[in-house]
Every structure is written in C-alpha cells, then in structure tokens.
Amino acid sequence: MADKKVIKSRYFFEEDFEEQLAEVPAEKVAAWDKKAKLKIVGKGVDRYDAYDKVSGTARYTFDIQLPHMAYAKTLRCPYAHACIKSIDVSQAEKMPGVLAVLTADNAPKIKWYRGTSYLFDRHLRYAGDEVACVAAKSERIAAQALKKIKVEYEVLPFVADAGKAMQPDAPKLYENGNIAGGKPSVYERGNADEGFNRADVVVEETFDTQVVVHNPTEPHCSVVNWDGDKLTVWDSTQSVFGVRNALADSLDIPANHVRVIKKYMGGGFGSKLAAGKYTIMAALLARTIGRPVKISMDREEMNLAVGNRPDSVQKLKFGAKKDGTLLAMSHYSYGAAGAYPSGAGCSWPLRSIYKCPNVRTEEYTVFINAGPGRPFRAPGHVQGTFALEAMIDTMAEKTGMDPLDFRLKNYSEIDPVSGQPYTTKRLREAYEAGAKAIGWENRNKKPGSDSGVIKRGLGMASQIWWGGGGPPTYANLKMNRDGSVEVLCGTQDIGTGTYTILAQVAAEVLELPMDKVSVILGDTAVTPYAHGSGGSVTAPSTTPAVRHAAELMKEKLIGYAAAQMNLPPERIAYRSGELVDRDNPAQKMSVSALMRKVREQVLVTTGMREANPEGYAVNTFGAQFAEVEVHTDTGKIVVKRIVAAHDIGRTLNRKLLENQFEGGIMQGIGFALMEERVIDRNTGKVLTTNLENYKMTLLPDMPEIEVIIVSDADPLLNNTGVKGIGEPAHIPTAAAIANAVYNATGVRFKSLPLTPDKVLQGLYGGVKQG
C-alpha cells in the first residue's frame, strides 16, 4: 500500500480543466462499500470548531493583533478610468503616526492581473483601482492620511457596460480592445444550423443576469510579520499555497522564506481563491517600516475591489422535434470581466447536461471599467442554468409536455461533451424524489391560472457541476504516544466543515472517538499540499488522502505491534484503538501502550489522494424545486419552499451537509430576487457600496427547505465515495425560482434579479405613467 507513482492528473476546477503532475498511491485503498456500516462518517456529529466559534474565542485573521503592529489603508481611484499625472504624498508623510506611503512612484514594479497591470499602475481602469497604500500607527491615522495625498488625474472616457464595450467606438481599456483574447470562446458539436432546419419547434430568447458581489462577512485581510528575511502572513484566504507563491514571486524571495497561515475565516465564496494586492502591499510596507502590518478591506472596498460574479447577456436558440426531442441548441453570450482578466463564460451547463447532438456556443468575456470578476460559487453555471432552464421550460410548453417529462426525454446517460460514461448519475432519481416532495402534480397546469392577488407557482431546475476533485492532495497523520492523533492538510476550512469531516474520516478508520483527533489546516510551513478551497473539490480531494494516511497508520501500528508481540503481522488485527492477536484475542495491547514502546514518540504517515478513474466523466447532479408566491399588487416574490434533491456521492455529515445546502439555496434566493451591484451609468462609480444598498437575504427571507440526497456513494471516484456540495447547492436555485414565477404568473421574466419593479413592469406592461 505504501507504493506510489506520479501521474498526469486532470480535473475541473472552477473555470477550467487543470492538468498537473501528482503523486498518487500505486494501489488504491478499497473504497468503502456503498452499504458499509460506518460509525462516524455519515453521522451528524457536531462541528469540530463550533466551540471556538460560538464562544467568541475563535481568532480570525481579522482579530489578530501583534505587538508593535501598524495598520495599512489603501487610496483608491475615484474615477472609472484615469491616468495618474502626479502624486504628492508629502502632506500625508508629515502627519504624526504615518510610517510609510507606497505609490507607483516608489513601489517596485510588480506585475499583477496576469501581467496586464502592476501592483501600482499609473493607468487606473476602474473606480476603486489602487493608487497608494499608507501604513500608520493606527487605522484611523492611515485613513486620515489618505485624504492628504494629492493626486492629479487625467480623467479618461470610460465604459461600464459589456454590450457597449464591444462596440468598435467604445473607450478601450487595453490597446488590443475590450474583448478578452480578442475573440470569443467557441464550442461546437454536430451542426446546430442543420438541427434548427430539421426542428418542428424553434424558440429564441434573450436573458440577462446581474453582477453580484461575494461579500463574505470577514473582509479580505492580512497580517504580515517579517522576522529577518522570513515572512509570516496570516491571511483570510481560500488558498494558503496560492498566497505563498504570489508573495514569493512578487517579492522575489524563496518560497521557504514565506509562511502563510489561515486558521478560521469568515467566508470567501471564491473571492479569496487568489492572492490580493493588499497582502503584497502590506508585506512591502512592513519590510520598509520594520513592524508587523495589518491590512483589512472595509465594506466599501469589499464591494468595489475584491471580485464579483460577472454579468451575462445570453441569446439562446433551441430546436426540438414535436415529440420533445432536442435537436439543436445555440448559445451566444457576453459578460463583463471587469477591468482585468477573469472568466465570464456561462455555457457549460447547456453543453453538458442534456442529450442534444447539435450544439454551438460562442462566448465573449469583455473588459469594462469596473472591479474585476473572480470565481463566485459555480462560475458561469449559475447564470447559464438560469437561461438554460427557462428555455427548457419554454420548449416543454411549446411541445405540450410537462417540464419534467421534457427533461427526461432528453436525459443523457453519458457525458455529451466527452462521450464518456459517468462514475454515477442519479439525476433521474433526484427528479423523482424532488417532484414527490414538492407535490409537482399541484403546479398550475396552465401558467398564471392561479386566481387572486397572490399567485402561487411551482418550478424546477436541473443542476450539473464537476466536484470530483483529484490529486495532488496530501495529508499527514501523526500518532502520538498517548494514542491521540493529528491530521495535517494544506487545505482550508472556509466555513464548510473541512475540520470536521477530516476528523471524522480519521476517527472512523482508526476507530477512535472524535476528541482523540485534532486537525491542523492551512499552514504552508507544516501542512502538506492541498488545492485551494473551491470548485467543490475539497471534500473529494482531502477525505481520501486522510483515509489513506489513516489506513497507512493502521498498517504501521500493526507492524510495530507484531514486533512487540513477536507475532507475524498477519496475526495482528487493529480494533478500536487496540492491537489484538487474531488467534488469541485475549492477547492485545492498546495503541498508547504500544506507543510507549516506540521511542520516536510520534509516528507519521502521508496519505495521498488516488488518481481519478480513467475513461469516466465525474459530475454532481441534482434538481431543485421551488414554490413561490407572487404578490401581483406589489411585485414581491416570496419563496415559500425549496426542495433540493441531489446526487453528490456519500454524505459525510448530514448536519453540515444540510447546512451547506441551505446556505447555497439562501444565496440563490439572493441572486434570484435582490442582489445586484449597481453602477452609475454617468460616472461609472458603484452605488451599492454598503449592505443597505447591496441587499442580501436575511432570516425572514428564509423559506422552508428540504434536502434530499439520492446518492449513497461514488466508490469508483475515490476511497470515501465523496463528491463536493458547495456549488451544486447553489447552482439551480435561481433558475427554479424563475420557473416557479412563470408558473405562477404566466409571464416569463428574463432578467435577474426579479425585483418588484421588474415584476410590476412585466405584469402591468409599460409602467411609466402618471
């Protein structure tokens, strides 16, 4: 079992397939059987870190204070597009308590945004771009100093709308124009035009979705501390190794001089997957002033400068036979990356979920003068699923079919993109279970037929995502002389429960109570490599590595016990923390008794995530069903119920799983009904810079939520049979709500969010009246 090999590993992460070399076990640990009777895995055990979090004693990066620590604040460009003509920091530097000021004049030229810009660039491409960074004795002094910096700007024409930015006469953000890569990303299978020609029913519709902002509660923040030429950074990040690499590269120092630590963090949702400028700026300032530096974004900066989900305009054309067989789908879309590279594509669900021989997609990622996008909980899928599933419902209606029957008619048993079989696909079961739970037969057979001011409707949407994870991911397991165990893994718990599930897996294999296992995550100096926490890859990548490490530890203990007990290893069994002679069960010794004979005092094993199975597509599937009330007098939509039925492999912890699904659904409700970044069209400045104007759901917006898991496990994928759930939970919610609103009103709303003004407009026609 200890043998290993190096492979080319390839799996999907957030926006693309990633290929990398990885060490994997030569021989896989046999997967837990689907029906395996596990004692701890699968149980709703309490969250490992709950005590620290409910008692207020959990220390987040935001809470860290070091002796002699200084504070940094950033000056941001007030214009949507400008060039710096000159900066005068002399007044700021003279202020008592100001320690250092960084600008394009004195900062090293550090490339940023994939080389399109610099850490401090004189060309400022959005209102919020970094101009200067001040370190001072207190955050207040730093903030006051920002006002003393005199910047002379040359204000440039701007464009803050992707459609306008694609026009030839639009102001250009880059010499090569505003379309990323200069051309669209195109996917084609079969011949879509031919398919449309043969179709009995052809429908064309345009949909659009808004920019939304991650707004995790803990701001993006770092605390940096130099000790000689060694740098320690506490960062609220989803990727400690990513941040370490960015720091080492930017500062041109060896990677082993940088230690990045993340213990607890207040959410990320994708916005903390990459290193931020602020961390580098703090490190530069700290080196200059010889003091630790803390830098935290305020809520305005959170809404301007640390990422968002790009918007989309999607033109879809679908053709089907009379009997509902999909013949062709085409998808043309564009979306705003913001001012710097990020992905705005959204056609993956359309390409991959239904059986359709002729598909063409054409996607433009467009630069505009606004804050750059970053992956946000299932990048592209949330926007794409909204439009796709609305079109599917429309096609069902046009062909006289029940929306569910239409989906089943076009069900794909294999991955239509690769032609490969799936490791598992239980979407059919999800449809069935969800429909039963919501009472699908109670929907309005004729949309909008519900009488009364408050109209009720049911809708549903399908979900596809990857979420299988893969190598490289490693975990170390330490067995201490008292029989207690430490699991070390370079992943991060971003609030999803990674600490808990890894402790569960180790406790399961070693048959120990949970409190014998401690878990250390997110520290580049002590934890072995794991991927950034995103893409729903964390659980399926890390739990098999931990299980592998624990199985190796069991083997190792048996070896030690055999030597101690003078028996061949085959005679020794590991049972509940004891090593037992199989032939004479009365002869046994506890792990701690054995460990006292081990002078090493601590035994260490390294587990590895095994290779993914070759020749298979790995996906998660699901369906969500929504019941809504549309108040036709006010335009208010109230989500009454959501049923989420999903195929996500093995359930590791029912309590945490439900919680994450509920959370994904709540964010889906926000996306469907209220969240929207608003930019003033005349100045290009963001108006939704606080949590009053950027509206997210609160507790009273919560519907009744039922989570149904239709899968038992995916033993073909990995040894725990686990897939990720973070993104699947969120993908179909808005689409299901929008379809339910159509069922309630008979009016198809094609623009998110479904705010009361739009709903009234849709129900009453043009509303400009007086």
Partner 1 sequence: MNQQFEYINPQSLDEAVKLAGQGSVYAGGTDLLGLMKNDIAHPQRLVNLKALPELKAVERQKGKGLRLGALVTLNELAENEMLQKDFPAISQAAGSAASPQLRNVGTLGGNLCQRPRCWYFRGDFDCLRKGGATCFAMDGENKYHCVVGGDGCYIVHPSDMAVALLALEAKLEIYGPGGQRLLPISHFYVLPEDDPTVETVLQPGEIITSVIVPEQPVGSRSVFVKFRERSAWDFAVVSVAAALQVQNGAISGGKIALGGVAPVPWLDKKLNNTLAGTALDENGINKIAASALTDAEPLEQNGYKVILARNMIKGVLQSLAG
Partner 2 sequence: MAEKDISRRIFIKRLGTGVAGSGLALSQLSAAVSAGKDDDAGEKAPKDQVLLQLTVNGKAVRLHIPASLTLAELLRDRLNLSGTKVVCNHGECGACTVLLDGKAVYSCHILALDAAGKEVLTVEGLLKGEELHPLQEAFVKEDGLQCGFCTPGQIMSAYALLKQKPHPTPDDIREGMAGNLCRCGAYPKIAQSVLAAAKSNARAER
761 lies in the binding site for partner 1 (CB under 8 A): yes
Return the closest-CA partner of residue 76 out of 298, 341, 375, 308: 298
Q: Which two tokens stand for residue 721?
A: 């049979």
682 lies in the binding site for partner 1 (CB under 8 A): yes
Q: Rounded to 5 degrees, what angle do the CA atoms 104, 107, 108 make? A: 115
Answer for the pair 644, 729: CB distance below 8 angstroms, yes or no: yes
Alpha-carbon gap, residue 331 to 35, rounded angstroms: 42
Region for 726 from its dihedrals, namely left if φ exceeds 0, alpha if ψ lies in -120 to 50, beta otherwise: alpha
770 binds, among partner 2, partner 1, none (CB under 5 to 8 A by kind): partner 1
The question of whether 727 is a catalytic residue gets the answer yes
Answer for the pair 404, 460: CB distance below 8 angstroms, yes or no: yes
218 binds, among partner 1, partner 2, none (CB under 5 to 8 A by kind): partner 2
The pattern of x and - marking residues 230 through 269 that bind partner 2 according to CB under 8 A reads ----x----------------------------xxxxx-x
566 lies in the binding site for partner 1 (CB under 8 A): no
96 lies in the binding site for partner 1 (CB under 8 A): no
Backbone φ and ψ for 194, nearest 5 degrees, come out as -60, -40
CA distances from 391 to 406, 645, 734 (A): 11, 21, 14
Could you say which of 15, 18, 93, 298 contacts partner 2 (CB under 8 A)? 298
| Among the residue ranges 190-198, 334-342, 374-382, 753-761, the one whose residues contact partner 1 (CB under 8 A) | 753-761
The pattern of x and - marking residues 198 through 217 that bind partner 2 according to CB under 8 A reads -----------------xxx
Q: Residue 695 Cβ, how far from partner 1 at the closest point, in Å?
A: 5
Nearest CB to partner 2, comparing residues 56 and 766? 56
SS3 letters across 474-526:
EEEEEEECCCCEEEEEECCCCCCCHHHHHHHHHHHHHCCCHHHEEEEECECCC
Could you say which of 175, 183, 419, 699 contacts partner 1 (CB under 8 A)? 699
SS3 letters across 120-184:
CCCEECCCCCEEEEEEECCHHHHHHHHCCCEEEEEECCCCCCHHHHCCCCCCCCCCCCCEHHHCC
Count of beta carbons in the 10 Å neighbourhood of residue 527? 23
522 binds, among partner 1, partner 2, none (CB under 5 to 8 A by kind): none
63 lies in the binding site for partner 1 (CB under 8 A): no
Answer for the pair 107, 120: CB distance below 8 angstroms, yes or no: yes
Q: Which helix or strand (DSSP H or E) is residue 307 part of?
A: none
The pattern of x and - marking residues 161 through 200 that bind partner 2 according to CB under 8 A reads ----------------------------------------
CA distances from 730 to 305, 377, 465 (A): 23, 7, 11
Q: Which helix or strand (DSSP H or E) is residue 208 part of?
A: strand 201-209
Q: Which two tokens stand for residue 428?
A: 């059919």
Return the closest-CA partner of residue 9 out of 26, 27, 23: 23
| Among the residue ranges 503-511, 560-568, 621-629, 662-670, the one whose residues contact partner 2 (CB under 8 A) | 662-670
Place of tokens 């990303």: 185
Could you say which of 65, 96, 451, 698 contacts partner 1 (CB under 8 A)? 698
Count of beta carbons in the 10 Å neighbourhood of residue 30? 9
Could you say which of 238, 394, 612, 667 contacts partner 2 (CB under 8 A)? 667
| Among the residue ranges 66-74, 312-320, 678-686, 734-742, the one whose residues contact partner 2 (CB under 8 A) | 66-74
Nearest CB to partner 2, comparing residues 90 and 690? 690
203 binds, among partner 1, partner 2, none (CB under 5 to 8 A by kind): none
| Among the residue ranges 305-313, 481-489, 606-614, 696-704, the one whose residues contact partner 2 (CB under 8 A) | 696-704
Q: Catalytic residue among 363, 397, 610, 727, which?
A: 727
751 lies in the binding site for partner 1 (CB under 8 A): no
Q: Residue 429 Cβ, how far from partner 1 at the closest point, in Å?
A: 34
Q: Residue 385 Cβ, how far from partner 1 at the closest point, in Å?
A: 23
Nearest CB to partner 2, comparing residues 423 and 498? 498
Residues touching partner 1, count (CB under 8 A): 39
Q: Residue 769 Cβ, how far from partner 1 at the closest point, in Å?
A: 6
Nearest CB to partner 1, comparing residues 402 and 701? 701
Alpha-carbon gap, residue 299 to 296, rounded angstroms: 10
Answer for the pair 620, 352: CB distance below 8 angstroms, yes or no: no
264 binds, among partner 2, partner 1, none (CB under 5 to 8 A by kind): partner 2
Q: Residue 138 Cβ, how far from partner 2 at the closest point, in Å?
A: 9
Identify the three-state secondary structure at position 329.
Answer: strand
Q: Residue 69 Cβ, how far from partner 2 at the closest point, in Å?
A: 7
681 lies in the binding site for partner 1 (CB under 8 A): yes
Answer for the pair 80, 128: CB distance below 8 angstroms, yes or no: no
140 lies in the binding site for partner 1 (CB under 8 A): yes
Alpha-carbon gap, residue 770 to 756, rounded angstroms: 18
222 lies in the binding site for partner 2 (CB under 8 A): no
728 lies in the binding site for partner 2 (CB under 8 A): no
CA distances from 234 to 112, 278, 627 (A): 21, 12, 44
Return the closest-CA partner of residue 329 out of 346, 350, 348, 313: 350
Could you say which of 695, 746, 748, 750 contacts partner 1 (CB under 8 A)? 695
Q: Residue 558 Cβ, how far from partner 1 at the closest point, in Å?
A: 58
Alpha-carbon gap, residue 533 to 60, rounded angstroms: 17
Alpha-carbon gap, residue 349 to 383, rounded angstroms: 10
Taking CB under 8 A as the criterion, which residues in 645-674 touch partner 1?
A: 674
> What is the set of active-site residues?
727
Positions that interact with partner 1 (CB under 8 A): 78, 140, 143-144, 633-636, 674, 678-683, 685, 687-690, 692-693, 695, 697-701, 755-757, 760-761, 764, 766-770
Positions that interact with partner 2 (CB under 8 A): 44, 46-47, 49-60, 62-69, 215-219, 234, 263-267, 269, 298-299, 494-497, 655-656, 658-660, 662-667, 670, 690-692, 696-702, 705
